[in-house]
Structure 1
């Protein structure tokens, strides 16, 4: 969402990270570091290797609980006020991959935040920085990447081994993207709003990849337009646009949904929370809709059981980077979780956000949110309203705390600011856990009455 599309002038980028139904995430803060010699990064996933700059800025991130299969830091805000979310997995078609195959040891999702976010000073620079890496080392996957700062929001798509494009989201607009290449017409004369790999136009022409003599439509040239897209991806874009711009009439399986859309009202981060946690509410496609069993299983919803975490990266205007940046994080299934705000200026995170392995543990924030979701899942109609009430309560409490903490933070000298923001963020995390634990205890107690082995006779039997 661009800064003129939001009520308070924030830029907002957000995403659900989906992988496995039980795969914990942590929240970390990497400190500012300066090295005497350049550092070397080697991917534990595919061996991608790159030399890194000697100065690494502080940044937040949400890595996997294990680095065995890759780091997957996914999202964060750095000390320079730049936010990054990587990646939205996508697919390129066989024609373009045949001309420029993916590179086995090129950069992939698991490494992108780690080798990019600490070294960039604006959203535009982030696109150029990552684009250079793709062109030099190659990419191992087709991916979409989000960058933002206080002024601009950029969406970048890496399609093949070495070719990519990026578009600046207009200030008064928004974009909703699913697992499908989304960017449409590229204006090669407009360097303010478009960036792209060197030689991409010639690559398309030389390999006879064009689909039109009149336009360079990246989605149609590089992407896929298949039935699987119309079941898996386009319905989610349709629902997001339907929610934010309800007067437009579109079909969920349409391949012509616009990349750039404008809302009919000013937007808030609450709108992003709703979309990221949505499952086609109010339509026949809602998987929780038992009145139309066929339609309710027809499309893949936005909020999924396999979501590991969901994040909203908010950069607010007229504030220093430490206070401006809010890293909202919901662990586990978005529809059943709580978005907790963490200040970009914090230097450490709540201990429970550093814990969690493949097996349930109460010491882990991820698993505590996940447990609440599991309890609600089993008895959704009975327990769902109680979860909804808790989500509303915490949204109100967190908004109140942010307002209070912002005011106090702006009065503090620089040497006290980091400690204050760390304490405030930790307190937000603890409040969320306390409320979740309380509801979890209530639901466990109530669930004891719901056993199929129950048999009603009298109160003693």
Structure 2
């Protein structure tokens, strides 16, 4: 993620998994939205709407006044906008009524050679608008790629980004390069990909339209500006991307750790520029394993910031889950479920390593009130701040209090998983017209399970912390 002007150094980590690479045949896309340590998020659902005339989108970002005309029909979709629209909506992730999921964006960087040939467009589209102008108007992942690609070509963009799309059959990753160019690759059904703030797509096969899509004229652009010979095709990462010292400490280690976790038999180094974009796991991937990766921080290596490595090792690489994560999500489309119940918007508010992923059905009328409440300062009724509080309390005495957090996370995850299974079983007897209301009630129960657990956790953390003060003195009670 790359957000508004006062925070130019933000970033995210993404994961994409094909349907034959998962244990239950689902497609999964997920991302940590990283920006500021205290920047609240909402979870909302926008209803299906049909207007008499095309609508107009106008960005609130004064530095990037992007505008475009929108279709008259807007599909229902979930989203996680920021607490204030002042700097833009930043809806970030969601699932629409057609069972299409989208997550935007994974911030990346384009090199100076390419930008000199095709500069950024200051009033073009950026991250803050991408979900809003794309997700409600598509019926498949491929269509999402094509729509966003056309917008970028027509309006330009003011930043370099990676965007995730999925439906029940396909998973796609789109990357922008310079002001108007983009490529997209379908993740093979039996594969996964993890991305960490670098352009990731490698060889683009122009003849394979089933698995690659790209901007019109991109081949001529590359050749005309002598960016590459094209004799051996286009390696998008090499031609459009960067490979500098910051990548070695900030970006590549996160990809290395993800591939180490899912494919441990491979021998790779965290500072390698040659890590493949597409990789195969040594097992079928479960939903909790995708979540585990997004919540990880190099556990089991010397680079864990709360581990046993040296001070230099613990702070060498930027971790996957970190204090600046606003929310983390995994969007799961389950083809074995009826169309109205396929989409699960797994959402962990705050820092994923110190939160819990709550399974929310996407085909709902509204979202839990606590998830709609997002404020600039702490509010004990806001889901974002309830989860954030527990993390802040643990951080103050991490090694003393983390075991309690870990226990609550595991117990809550079990309860939420059981709630999802139980609800799925009950839905067979629900009439289609009653389904959204039933799923809305199920989401309320899921939220209650998670929020109650973390409110009780914070109470226990505060109680235990009272004896951990630096002003404490262990008095001999016999005196």
TM-score range, shorter chain: over 0.9
For 1:72 and 1:187, locate their aligned partners in 2 and report how far apart those are by CA, in whole Å.
Answer: 32
The ranges of structure 1 where at least 4 consecutive aligned residues each deviate by more than 3 angstroms after the TM superposition are 458-461
Q: Where in structure 2 are the equivalents of 1:213-292 lying within 5 Å?
A: 213-292=231-310
For 2:283 and 2:182, locate their aligned partners in 1 and report how far apart those are by CA, in whole Å.
Answer: 32
- Give the match's secondary structure for 2:132: helix
Stretch moving more, 124-133 or 393-402 = 393-402
Q: 1:332 and 2:347 equivalent?
A: no
- Give the match's secondary structure for 1:92: coil
Please state how far the C-alpha of 1:390 moved relative to its aligned partner: 1.1
For 2:27 and 2:474, locate their aligned partners in 1 and report how far apart those are by CA, in whole Å.
Answer: 56
Stretch moving more, 5-14 or 399-408 = 399-408
Q: Which residue does the alignment assign to 2:83?
A: 65
Q: How many residues align?
A: 461
2:183 touches 2:213 (CA, 8 Å); kept in 1?
yes
Q: Where in structure 2 are the equivalents of 1:35-434 lying within 5 Å?
A: 35-45=51-61, 46-210=64-228, 213-434=231-452
Please state how far the C-alpha of 1:290 moved relative to its aligned partner: 4.3
Please state how far the C-alpha of 1:211 moved relative to its aligned partner: 6.3
Q: 1:21 and 2:34 equivalent?
A: no
Residues 32 and 450 of structure 1: CA distance in aligned 2, closer, same or farther (over 3 Å): same
For 1:320 and 1:42, locate their aligned partners in 2 and report how far apart those are by CA, in whole Å.
Answer: 36
TM-score (norm 1): 0.99
2:223 touches 2:229 (CA, 8 Å); kept in 1?
no
Q: 1:32 and 2:40 equivalent?
A: no
- Give the match's secondary structure for 1:253: coil
The CA deviation string for residues 278-307 of structure 1, in whole angstroms up to 9 with x for no partner, is 110000111112441111100000001100
Please state how far the C-alpha of 1:75 moved relative to its aligned partner: 0.1
The CA deviation string for residues 122-179 of structure 1, in whole angstroms up to 9 with x for no partner, is 0000000000000000011100000000000000001111000000000000000010
Q: 1:4 and 2:35 equivalent?
A: no
Please state how far the C-alpha of 1:272 moved relative to its aligned partner: 1.1
Residues 159 and 459 of structure 1: CA distance in aligned 2, closer, same or farther (over 3 Å): farther
1:322 touches 1:343 (CA, 8 Å); kept in 2?
no
For 2:339 and 2:261, locate their aligned partners in 1 and report how far apart those are by CA, in whole Å.
Answer: 31
Please state how far the C-alpha of 1:391 moved relative to its aligned partner: 1.2
Please state how far the C-alpha of 1:319 moved relative to its aligned partner: 2.0
For 1:158 and 1:339, locate their aligned partners in 2 and report how far apart those are by CA, in whole Å.
Answer: 29
